[in-house]
Structure 1
Amino acid sequence: MRRILIVALALSLVLAACTSKDGGKDGGKGGKRPATVDGIATGAGTHQEKIDVGTPGHREYLLHIPAKVADGKWKDGKLADKPALVIALHGGLANMKQMESLTGFDKLSDGKGFVVAYPDGFMTTWNAGSCCGAAKIGKIDDVGFLSKLIDELTGAGLADPDRVFVTGFSNGAGMAYRLACEKPGKVAAIGVVEGSLVTECDPDRPVSAMIFHGTADRSVPFNGGGNRDFNDKRPFPPVSRAVDFWRRLAKLPEPHENVKALSGNTDCQGTGKGEQGVEVTFCKIQGGTHAWPSEASEMLWRFFDAHPRKG
């Protein structure tokens, strides 16, 4: 028994030497990683976090931190090299965990070294303007929520404020549009998958945008149509309207440059980069339905990585 106790004590001393009292790791790369920064977990993996938005209750999000970031260079409790941040917004009647599973961004994050946040909508919906559901009816300030999320993660030094990217699916894609419309200074680029621009939009600066849409989408029809919400029978505008809006805002030509896609049924055309490196790319998925394309996540990251905010 005494020998077992001695072995256990020795093991505990070894572990204590590898981990700081607050749970941070001392990797010998410029200092110890704190267990949290401004209350946000810093360890490798996915953490469920809460954020106070000044209303009753709180909002939640998942935060995935790759080992490349957690084990990177820390100095005085701060990351020396701040990573990019991708915020992924789930579709209507879904949640943050489903978005994490749907996109596969965690695996990409681990390989490429960017941080991913998966926020939860209000009662499974986002207030994207004239859509959708409970969030719209309740006039939930989702722009405020997402803006504060960005501020907290960049303010804590866990993300580069010039490399914040927002993507979404369906209702979440509409929310990505709205955030870019109202807070363009907070995002470098957006990625829209099977979504529609259904909010008033008058940003004071352009953002880069990559837009995916299937020609056989019946929920948000490619050429417009359907109903915006259960209590709003107005049709969705065609996807071309959103493509034209963002390129004209940036004074860009119509998409004409071929962009390499990862599957044969996806045809991507880009405008080329304009002022401050802004670009719009439109990916038409022949026969694509209301679903997240298997190639979307990798292509979105490739686009995001090439379009940091400038100026």
Structure 2
Amino acid sequence: MTPRMRPRRILAALLAVTSVAVALTGCGIRGDQQDSATPPGTELRVIEVDGVDRSYRVHIPEQLATDPALVVMMHGGLGSAQQAERAYGWNAESDAAGFVVAYPDGKSRTWNAGDCCGGAERDDVNDVAFITALVGELQNEFGISSDRTFATGMSNGAMMSYRLACETDLFAAIAPVAGTIVTPCEAPAPTSVLHIHGLDDGSVRMDGEPGNGIGDVDGMPIADVNALWRAAGACADPVITDEPPVTTSASACADDRRVVLVTVADAGHQWPGSVAREGATDQPSGALDATALIWEFFDAA
């Protein structure tokens, strides 16, 4: 079930155009989120990967849990580590539950998720190696086991989380939001997956048809993504729970893994429950708190 490949318009050439930043507010970008202030508990770090310096932010709670966890949160296209830290509420969850959150920065503010996106894809950036090195560094520093290591991401970051799950066994669970698979992924290792998607998402469509965003995404249909991970995990038929506007399809899998698809009616390309985006027509849905739901899923993995 390899996703269809098609030529991509190059995002990097448009980065300097102000209208592009406005058009991509669906990725959670706000112009006032680019200052250099570091919140308490957060450190800016640099790690060398393949001879290239890569940066990430790490939020360290005042009190680590007895069995600490790591969540890697990957920003959307044209987003940043700092923007993701501010927009999605992970620091508050980290402080309350005692886990570490890493916010890596993509090159050209994009991730090479396979057949997407922009400068990172064009330059064949080895983001798999970057995230692998970051994870290893933080696991060693904080004594975090592989079964307490998780990844999530928005849009292009969600696609990157899928690529990592397709090509590595770094994570016990992933939780992509508003993304899809845009890389070959024939036989992934069993992994717990929570996928959250707005039914009206026009940038990464549920049916896999080309989206209306600049990334021109036409990856795997979301139903096929869900079926791929259920097959990989030897999962039972899903149990459907309908609580409008939220519908949940949950499958119990071998070795206590789970594969869950959560869809939100009347929601577009967004992270439900995140900070409102100034000037955006597609504001985050208030139907659920995606961050709280994802951490609950990870913590039970």
TM bucket (normalised to shorter chain) is 0.7 to 0.9
Counterpart Cα distance in 2 of 1:236 and 1:103: 25
Q: Mark the structure with the bigger radius of gyration.
A: 1
* Corresponding residue SS for 1:216: coil
One-letter amino acid of the counterpart of residue 290, structure 2 = A
For residues 139 and 158 of structure 1, the distance between their equivalents in structure 2, rounded to whole angstroms, comes to: 32
- Which of 52, 55, 61 matches 2:51? 55
Residue 283 of structure 1 is matched in structure 2 by 262
Task: Provide Cα deviations, 1:46-70, integer angstroms capped at 9, x if missing partner.
Answer: 11111111223x111110011112x
1:127 pairs, out of 106, 112, 120, with 112
Structure 2 gaps of 5+ residues are 1-39, 274-288
Count of residues in Structure 1 that have an aligned counterpart in Structure 2:
248
Matched, 1:268 2:248: yes
Higher RCO, 1 vs 2 (CA within 8 Å, ≥6 residues apart) = 2
1:80-91 superposed matches below 5 A:
81-91=66-76
- Quote the Cα distance in structure 1 between the aligned partners of 2:212 and 2:166: 19
Q: What's the C-alpha RMSD, in Å, of the aligned pairs?
A: 2.1
Does structure 2 conserve the Cα–Cα contact (< 8 Å) formed by 1:257 and 1:271?
no
2:167 matches 1:182: yes
Q: 1:306 maps to which residue?
A: 300
Residue type at the aligned position of 2:173? A
Contact 1:84/1:163, CA 8 A, preserved across alignment: yes
For 2:177 and 2:233, locate their aligned partners in 1 and report how far apart those are by CA, in whole Å: 21
Q: 1:228 to 1:164 in 2, by over 3 A?
A: farther
Q: What is the correspondence of 1:252-267 to structure 2 with a 5 Å cutoff?
A: 252-258=235-241, 264-267=244-247
Identity %: 37
**Matches of 2:248 and 2:267, distance apart in 1:** 13
CA drift of 1:282 comes to 0.5
C-alpha distance in 2 between matches for 1:253 and 1:187: 22
Give 5+ residue unaligned stretches, structure 1: 1-43, 73-80
The equivalent residue for 2:182 is 198
Structure 2 Cα separation of the partners of residues 139 and 228 of structure 1 = 24
Deviations 1:253-303 (A, max 9, x none): 3321549x8xx522112102x222111010010111101001100000000
Q: 2:203 aligns with which of 219, 228, 241?
A: 219
| Corresponding position of 1:156 | 141
Q: Which residue of 2 aligns with 1:22?
A: none
Shift of 1:105: 0.4
**Does structure 1 retain, via aligned residues, the 8 Å contact 2:204–2:217?**
no
TM-score, normalization by structure 1: 0.75
- Structure 2 length-normalised TM: 0.77
Give 1:153's aligned amino acid.
L
SS at match of 1:68: coil
Question: Quick check: 1:182–1:202 contact (8 Å CA) kept in 2?
Answer: no
1:239 to 202, 206, 222: 222
